[in-house]
Amino acid sequence: MMKPDFKIIRQAATRDGVPPRLPLYEHFVDKEVIEAIMGFRFSEVSSREEYWKKQIEFYRQMGYDYVPVELGPKFCNTKYLYADDTALYSKGQRSWVNEHEGAIRTREDVENPDLWPSPENAFDYDEFELIASLLPEDMKIIGGASGGPFEHASFLMGLENLCIALYEDEEMVGKLFERIGTTLAAIAERLVKLDAVGIYRFGDDLGYKSATMISPEMLRKYVFPWQKKVVDIAHRAGKPFLLHSCGQLKDVMDDLIDYVGIDCKHSFEDAIMPITEAKKLWGDRVALFGGIDVDFLCRSTPQQVRERTLRIMEECSKGGGYAVGSGNTIANYVPVKNYLAMIDAAREFNGL
């Protein structure tokens, strides 16, 4: 078992030399996978405190130096679509954001104060502070308010309508991002004051497999300035910032590193760019976490997972700035035996 020590993953995230061991990193592990490994059911816990104690117990026992925690800002309701969940460890029903419509439709909606919570009411600070109070001294939180400015804009309008508005009503789009960005920044200002928050993080998926979802020019105009505000808030508090962002981002990585100022990037897919290639391109400028492709984790044998994990660790750990884990998350369709093979390879690499 790897004994937690948050200083190790912080050292990796800031590229401050080579840590004494290679840390583990996951954006999160689905509850169904945790249940399959730990043998308990989250549906049977009696309180939020007990729920988070079990989450902490899992990440600690697996050897993580932190607990991933992201709670959603209380923007108006995102519209979802639903279908049966056919995953290996099914949750019954799976949902995804409706890209065709959202709760925000018009300029009047953007300007309507009733649809936008004040910073004081936009986040469940009490629950976040409860989680912080439960952490052992050698672990911290990596997380914050979930979702970045682009994700929330595309959720609230629907990606299709947002793209149309970018060309038909840019003034409305600018006000939309200001509403979202101002709220995310205000939440971050409060959360970074917690000692238990070790690395601030949100996810802001920006790309498809072949390109960014909107043009790099639009990202520079509407998204990156608000990302930067949150990153600057984290840095002023002495906290690194980790960006989880899916998609082909090669055209904007310089912006994310040099302008936004991210310390660490997560989410890598072999079909877009293997992490070994990303390490060669940007590893001397930004920490890169994860990279064990999720599709590979799903389709391979435990021995294949072990062998590839060892190869990637050998290559990406050189010079520091790396933590090993999946390319995205341990979703409920990843076989537990393959996830555990990846963890065991990390222990082997660390001589444990």
Name all domains of the chain by residue range, CATH numbers in brackets: 6-349 (3.20.20.210)
Mean pLDDT of 153-181: 96
In three-state secondary structure terms, 142 is strand
Compute the distance between CA of residue 164 and CA of residue 168 in angstroms, rounded to an integer. Answer: 6
Kindly report, residue by residue over 101-155, the tens digit of the pLDDT: 899 999 999 999 999 999 999 999 999 999 999 999 999 999 999 999 999 999 9
Look at residue 77 in the predicted model and tell me its pLDDT.
76
- What does DSSP assign to residue 184? H
How open is the CA angle 6-7-13, to the nearest 5 degrees? 95
Look at residue 276 in the predicted model and tell me its pLDDT.
98
Here the tokens at position 261 are: 């100022």
**Strands of the sheet with 197-203, listed across from one edge:** 66-71, 140-145, 197-203, 241-244, 264-266, 287-289, 322-323
Look at residue 96 in the predicted model and tell me its pLDDT.
86
pLDDT band at 352 (very low <50, low <70, confident <90, very high): confident
Kindly report, residue by residue over 313-336, the tens digit of the pLDDT: 999 999 999 999 999 999 999 999
Percent of the chain with pLDDT over 90: 94
Tell me how long the chain is: 352
pLDDT band at 80 (very low <50, low <70, confident <90, very high): confident
**pLDDT at position 42 over 80:** yes
Compute the distance between CA of residue 33 and CA of residue 168 in angstroms, rounded to an integer. Answer: 44
Mean pLDDT of 42-53: 95
Look at residue 22 in the predicted model and tell me its pLDDT.
98
Contact between 237 and 278 under an 8 Å Cβ cutoff? The reply is no
Instruction: Evaluate the CA torsion angle 14, 255, 229, 325 in order and state its sign.
Output: negative
Which of 234, 230, 126 has the alpha carbon at shortest distance from 180?
230
One-letter amino acid of 111 = E
Per the prediction, the chain carries an average pLDDT of 96
**pLDDT at position 81 over 90:** no
Contact between 286 and 324 under an 8 Å Cβ cutoff? The reply is no
Look at residue 71 in the predicted model and tell me its pLDDT.
96
Kindly report, residue by residue over 238-257, the tens digit of the pLDDT: 999 999 999 999 999 999 99
Q: Phi/psi of residue 94, each to 5°?
A: -115, 145
Look at residue 98 in the predicted model and tell me its pLDDT.
85
Mean pLDDT of 288-301: 98
Q: What is the DSSP string of 199-231?
A: EEEEE---B-SSSBSS-HHHIIIIIHHHHHHHH
Mean pLDDT of 163-186: 96
Contact between 123 and 71 under an 8 Å Cβ cutoff? The reply is yes
